[in-house]
Structure 1
């Protein structure tokens, strides 16, 4: 029902399910997430609290609940929930990764790296943890270590386009534009319709003053992903800056 956009019907279905299976935390969790998506933060909170009353050891509930509080601007509440989650479910790689992302966004990079280290120890095959760890390391000016984590992420998942993109952007910031191009190319070979990687590469070339190459990449990106508003806007903005009003 939620996929069909009928939230009242979805709410009735969730309510019946919880009434029939009151200890089913997955139902309560899913309902909370849908209320969150619908903008009903108060209802989502009550459902997350109910789910934790049923199972206080489920790290994914703490993670989702903390995300709600982050979106609502309640950073202290989000921090408390993540701390409670890691205490209740200390072997949950996804939760430790979420903690690392939270600390990265707050600029607490040393703490973030400790949490990503824990995530990668617990989940040595979890590519997103290595990618996020690499980003935190780069922001800590530890670029060689970051490159190592990106390489580990790609050994785990050679088809992770976001990892190719993030790695390429780091190399571009380091001034190794040829290496960045190689990484962008590898990412596009994995998913030729991935608009963000075309956008990132085209933007790099524009910043380097290679407008012909940037234009070609914007064009290929729009052909591959014609619904990408971001690509179209950036391409149009470049042409306007160049005085090409009619392009």
Structure 2
């Protein structure tokens, strides 16, 4: 069905209208760069692997999105208190002090259960430790408080895709897109699912288009759309979308690398050399860029 997605129950879930897609000022406040993808962590996407993409999103989003009780009420802990505990939890996790991190994430949840960060941090900690059943329970509990939090829905979809539960993953990605049509990362995840799991190029392209309309400054959306078009033999479109990604984020070595490879393969050698130099300036230690330069 072109122009609509069919969920696992067989009913149609249409793409959002222009009105719902934009969400006016609310959508502007939700501009994020957050990429969570399943699949093989070693899979290279023009110089970015999937594990790196998961690490890009460290800010943890609009914390009250989808919460059943987002407004301050008597007895509720102020957000600043949770901010401090969450910061300590993240630092503990970076030090690989998993027990301390878990204790602090649980404290975040206890202090403010409608704040998605504690749930997200705890679930992703369990995922990093490959305790997938525990992570699944955490997501399920989180959504009792934050039922329409697109970030939690998308992250749960990542878990299900990673563990091979593709129908469940797709359903969660669709729910995430429906919960917040302005959440670009959900469109990325759903688009990549269509592309890699179902070989459905039309719906993948539709997801990327919808995502860029919701958030035209999300550079990774332009990057993956460029990859899709290049894989389909549409070099001009791929060049256009890679260039848009560079315009949005001129410090991303991976997109310079991707466009450089495109130019090299279409025999624009001078342009390819220029782009590889710019990729090195953006990240002198990027192994994919260095390997490509050595090879060509």
The residue number in structure 2 matching 1:187 is 245
Superposition RMSD on alpha carbons, in Å? 2.5
Instruction: Summarize deviations over 1:114-168 as a string: whole Å, max 9, x none.
Output: 1121111111211221122211121221210111110011111222211110111
How far the C-alpha of 1:204 sits from its partner, in A, is 4.2
Q: TM-score w.r.t. structure 2 length?
A: 0.65
**Which deviates further from its counterpart, 155-164 or 51-60?**
51-60
For these two proteins, the number of residue pairs brought into alignment is 217
Q: Is the 8 A contact 1:184 1:201 kept in 2?
A: yes
How far the C-alpha of 1:211 sits from its partner, in A, is 7.6
Q: Distance in 1 between matches of 2:136 and 2:189?
A: 18
The residue number in structure 2 matching 1:4 is none
For structure 1, list consecutive stretches of 5 or more residues without a partner in the other structure.
Answer: 1-20, 240-247
* Aligned with residue 196 of structure 1, among 250, 254, 257: 254
The residue number in structure 1 matching 2:230 is 172
* Aligned with residue 107 of structure 2, among 43, 50, 60: 50
* Aligned with residue 157 of structure 1, among 191, 202, 215: 215
How far the C-alpha of 1:62 sits from its partner, in A, is 1.4
Q: Is the 8 A contact 1:45 1:65 kept in 2?
A: yes
How far the C-alpha of 1:88 sits from its partner, in A, is 2.9
Q: Give runs of ≥4 in structure 1 deviating > 6 Å.
A: none
SS in 2 for 1:76: helix
For structure 2, list consecutive stretches of 5 or more residues without a partner in the other structure.
Answer: 1-76
Structure with bigger gyration radius: 1
Structure 1 residue 100 and structure 2 residue 157: aligned?
Answer: yes
Q: TM-score w.r.t. structure 1 length?
A: 0.77
Structure 1 residue 117 and structure 2 residue 174: aligned?
Answer: yes
Cα pair distance change 1:58/1:218, threshold 3 Å: same
Q: Distance in 1 between matches of 2:174 and 2:212?
A: 17
Q: Which has the higher contact order (CA 8 A, sep 6+)?
A: 2
Structure 1 residue 87 and structure 2 residue 144: aligned?
Answer: yes
Q: Is the 8 A contact 2:184 2:211 kept in 1?
A: yes
Cα pair distance change 1:78/1:237, threshold 3 Å: farther
How far the C-alpha of 1:180 sits from its partner, in A, is 1.1
